[in-house]
Every structure is written in structure tokens, then in C-alpha cells.
Chain A
Amino acid sequence: MSNSAVLDVLDPGLLTTVQDAGRRGWARYGVPPSGPLDEAAFAAANELVGNPPDAAALEITFTGPTLRVGRECLIAVCGADFALWVGALPVPTWHALYVRAGQIVTFGARRNGARAYLAVSGGIALPPFLGSQATYLPGGFGGLDGRALRAGDRLPLGPAAMRNPAQAAGRVWPVERRPPYTPQPTVRVVLGPQDDYFTPEGLATFLNSAYQLTPEADRMGVRLQGSPIAHRGPTGIVSDGVVAGSVQVPPDGQPIVMLADHQTTGGYPKIATVVRADLPLLAQCLPGDWVSFAAVTVAEAQRACEPWRGVGITPSPG
């Protein structure tokens, strides 16, 4: 690898991690998938720069980084909307942007959303851990030494397939293909597997109330607050499997939606599962935003996921 094929971290921002499409095939050992919380924005950024949809990119949280790009390439930033510069030039998000070797990419004020994804043509090329570059902070593995980026870090870039990045620049990700982000999203859910642990009133409360995001919101999950959901009887179950999107309801009746870094098993009854296509809406919410839930059938949920499902679904060997 030539020394120029790197991304230099001048300022890491608040919480910037390396994520690829996730670590599949290890849940049976207690290892969560990790990967991007907003899979739609992540896949868009990769496609804009000509990468495969599962190439490793940066997940940027609340405050953006400042980076020096070591070689001529394309970059794209998708997801939350930030002020953004390449060198001194203000540039838009959701665009394929041409960057000359040595130029600096600077993030400014965040205008909306919580998380943005920065993809670089060629992708980030760190050694995989259990088959993936996705950073899992609680386990301290994946990405760069299992941690968030720091100033002074150097991220190796993979070989870029693109012969002439300057020519490929300028492409815009169509607005109609972007998730309909809003601070009051209605996210679709498939009820169950433990919806029978709740009273009919409890289910009605869950589907007819808005829930506010608390500050307890991270890559493991988001804790919501609102009308308490009534359990029918026991408020705990014998631990079983959890997925990204599982809506757990602990004894206090306040739902918790599990996200990419979720524990793989859990002992709270799960009233519903958020449809994968709508997790990006939740991932972009901020504490104080309001979330509502709408029940759909499994078939409706599968149709909702059609445009981009398949990203990262291939299991690792093992």
C-alpha cells in the first residue's frame, strides 16, 4: 500500500467509527451484527463513489470530523445533513464529490439528523475482525482497534476501481430514493414475537401513541418515553434472540428499540420488530423527537425492504 492511500484524521468529531455492512453469522456466539445504523444512507454513499454496497465507510455522529484525503478520489456524505467543505469549497451532501490528493474535507454545523456516512472510492481497508470491519465499541473490536477514531489516526484505503474520478463526480442521489427523514417518523412494525405478553389496551397504546426519544440513545438501542404499555402478566421472559429493530418493553412499560450493536439475547418481552427499511428513520432521530409505530404484515414489511435489502445479508463463514 502506498503511503498516500490513506485518510488522515485531523479531528475525529464526537463519535466517528468505521462501519461496513456488518458482521453476519456470529450472533449464535453472542456477537451482534454492528454496521451502519442508517443502512440506506450508508449504501447510497458507497454507490455514489462506485463502491460495492458493503464497503467500509465512516459513521459520523452529531459532530463531523476533519479529514485529509491522501489520494485523488471520490467521496460522498449521506444521511444527516451537515455543512461540508472540500478545501475551501462548500459542497452538498448526497453528491459524488471529487477530491484532489492532499485536500481537506471539513464538516461544519449539523442541520438535521443524527448520523452521516462518508464513503471514499476504494473504501476503507482495515483488517477484518470475524469477517468484518464494523466497529463494535462495547466489545472493543472491529474497525480501528475496536474504538472511535482519534486525531492522528490514519485509515488505509482500498484500491479504487475508478480510472477517472473527476469525470464521475457530480452525481446526485435522487431525493425520492432518500429515506423520508423527519423528527416525527411513523415507523412500520411487525407485531410479535411476544405481543401476547401485552393486554389489548397495551397493544393499542403502543400503536396509537407517540413516544419521545430519551437521551439514552446509542448504537445499542434507543430508549423511548411515553404512555406506558401494559403487560398482560409477567414482565419478563426466558431470554431469547434479539434482532436490530426488536422493540423490548421492560416492566416500566417504556419501549426500547434495539439497534445494530444490540445484545443478541434479551429477557424483556418484545412487542414488535421495526421493519428494516424504517430503521434509518429511527437512526436519524434526536433525543426529544417523537416516534409512532404502525403495524404491517410480514409480506408488507418484505415489500418495504425490496429497494435495498440484501446489503450485508450474506453470512460470514463460521
Chain B
Amino acid sequence: MPVYPRILPVGEAAFTVEFGDAVDEALNRQVHALDVALRACPVPGLVETVPTYRSLLVMYDPRVRAADAMRTALTDALNVLATTELPAGRLVEIPVRYGGEAGPDLADVATHCGMTEAAVIELHAQPVYTVAMLGFAPGFAYLLGLPEALATPRLATPRLRVPPGSVGIAGAQTGVYALATPGGWRIVGRTDLVLFDPGRAEPFTLHAGDRVRFVPL
């Protein structure tokens, strides 16, 4: 069994700091804590970080800091981390039209979960989710906190185009599409909130570590 956290090389210009190997809120919190710490107090040579469910990818410039020195800097950051509290992420409320044309798979999810559509909506809009990571496509937000009763397998055949703002369920996960992309998640609703606008100072509405609540319209 590996001992966590562990710092693993990703080629000559990145490390991944692994906190574990599970989809787990406590673990994901550690990822965001390290990310916040590194961004608040940038280590010389740090280029960019990519938070994911259970690890933080840290890209660096080896001209500024060689591998050993960067590994030491990350170890130091982890040691400090053990003694600090992670500030709560921003809370973003996302208004959602559930069902109908906006949520074409709501009925299937209700059938699969053995509840009414209204019960699915109520349950889905209840938790405060955490943006575990953004990935798969620009701005796609993977959220932690889906009630187990709503877990539904992906579509057998992915759609060629899922409209931006779509809210979906895949297995035990829920997520939001920022851009139109192909996708196999069960779409239960859609928001008109613009999740990506390159013209804004902050082009992406959702950031890793944010908290999210869905508000049914």
C-alpha cells in the first residue's frame, strides 16, 4: 500500500502530489488546500497547478528550480498544510430548469431510481456540492456530493452534442457542461447561467474548490 501523500514525477517539468486513490470529499479537500497554499504563496519556478479528485498536478520550470529543489518545496508546503485550515470555497448558486427539453433524461433517472421526477429534482437540489475538479472539456465541472439514491449509469450511446449549461448525472457523480461537447451523462436539467465567457476577467464561472447549490426554477 502506498503511503500518502506522495510526490510522483510527471516527466521533466511536473510532479503530481497524490493524497490517495478514491473519490472522497476529505481527500479532495486536501488537494484544494495544497492548491490554495501554493497559489497564495507561489514557489519560484511554479508554472501552473491542476487540482483533481485526489491529486494536484504541479507544473514547474526546471530552469528556475530543478526537480530535487521543487520536490523539497512541495514537501515543505505539505508540512505547513498539515497545520492550517482550508478556507471554505465560494458558494455559487446555479438556477436550473429541470426536465422537459432542458433535462431530457430526467424521466429515465426517475425510473432508474424508483422515484418521481419531482423527488429527483428535490433531492438533486438539496446538497451543497463541491467542485472537485474541472476537466474532460473546458469548464466541465465534476461535483462531489451527489446523494447515493440518484446514482444512474451513463447513456449507452453518448450524445454528439450536449448544450452548454447542461446538468448531468453519471454513476455516483453529477456535473455541469460549460461548453457544447459530446457527452454520455444523463442530462436532468440546464442552467442559463453563462459558465464560460472568454471576454470576462474571470472567463470560467466555476473554479475547483467552489461550493455549488442548484436552485430549481
Q: Which among A28, A193, A275 is the interface contact of B12 at CB below 8 angstroms?
A: A275
Q: Which residues of B contact A305 (CB under 8 A)?
A: 12-13, 62
Contact between chains at A28 and B10 (CB < 8 Å)? no
> Quick check: is A25 within 8 A (CB to CB) of the other chain?
yes
Contact between chains at A263 and B18 (CB < 8 Å)? no
Q: Which residues of B contact A26 (CB under 8 A)?
A: 138
Q: What string of 1s and 0s marks CB contacts (under 8 Å) between A236-250 and chain B?
A: 011111010110000
Q: Which among B10, B56, B202, B207 is the interface contact of A243 at CB below 8 angstroms?
A: B10
Bound: A28/B51 CA distance, A:
6
Interface residues of A in 23-79 (CB under 8 A from B): 24-31
Contact between chains at A265 and B50 (CB < 8 Å)? yes
Contact between chains at B67 and A27 (CB < 8 Å)? no
> Quick check: is A207 within 8 A (CB to CB) of the other chain?
no
Contact between chains at A25 and B10 (CB < 8 Å)? no
Contact between chains at B202 and A318 (CB < 8 Å)? yes
The secondary-structure label for the interface of chain B is loop
Contact between chains at A237 and B12 (CB < 8 Å)? no
Bound: A297/B193 CA distance, A:
47
Q: Which among B16, B48, B55, B61 is the interface contact of A310 at CB below 8 angstroms?
A: B61
Determine how close the nearest CB of chain A comes to the CB of B143; give it in whole angstroms: 13
Given that A264-B50, A273-B11, A315-B48 are known contacts, is A29 also in contact with B59, CB under 8 Å in the complex? no
Q: What string of 1s and 0s marks CB contacts (under 8 Å) between A170-193 and chain B?
A: 000000000000000000001011
Minimum CB distance partner of B47 in chain A: A315
Contact between chains at A276 and B11 (CB < 8 Å)? yes
Contact between chains at B9 and A241 (CB < 8 Å)? no
Given that A193-B9, A265-B50 are known contacts, is A243 also in contact with B14, CB under 8 Å in the complex? yes
Contact between chains at A30 and B16 (CB < 8 Å)? no
Bound: A309/B63 CA distance, A:
8
Q: Which residues of B contact A298 (CB under 8 A)?
A: 9, 11-12, 67
Given that A30-B139, A263-B135, A318-B202 are known contacts, is A302 also in contact with B50, CB under 8 Å in the complex? no
> Quick check: is B179 within 8 A (CB to CB) of the other chain?
yes
Bound: A192/B198 CA distance, A:
35
Q: Which residues of B contact A192 (CB under 8 A)?
A: 8-10
Bound: A26/B133 CA distance, A:
13
Q: What string of 1s and 0s marks CB contacts (under 8 Å) between B115-153 and chain A?
A: 000000000000000000111111110100000000000
Most chain A beta carbons < 10 A, residue from B48, B51, B63, B140: B48
Q: Which residues of B contact A243 (CB under 8 A)?
A: 10-11, 13-14, 57, 59
Q: Which residues of B contact A30 (CB under 8 A)?
A: 134-140, 178
Q: List 15 A-B contacts (CB under 8 A).
A: A24-B47, A28-B35, A29-B204, A139-B137, A190-B9, A238-B23, A239-B52, A240-B55, A243-B14, A243-B57, A263-B135, A265-B135, A270-B10, A275-B11, A298-B9
Q: Which residues of A are interface residues toward B (Cβ below 8 A)?
A: 24-31, 129-130, 138-141, 190, 192-194, 196, 237-241, 243, 245-246, 263-265, 270, 273-276, 298-299, 301-302, 304-305, 309-310, 313-315, 318
Beyond the given pairs A30-B138, A301-B12, 9 more chain A to chain B contacts, judged by CB atoms under 8 angstroms and listed by A's residue number, are A29-B204, A193-B9, A264-B135, A265-B52, A273-B10, A273-B11, A309-B63, A313-B47, A315-B47
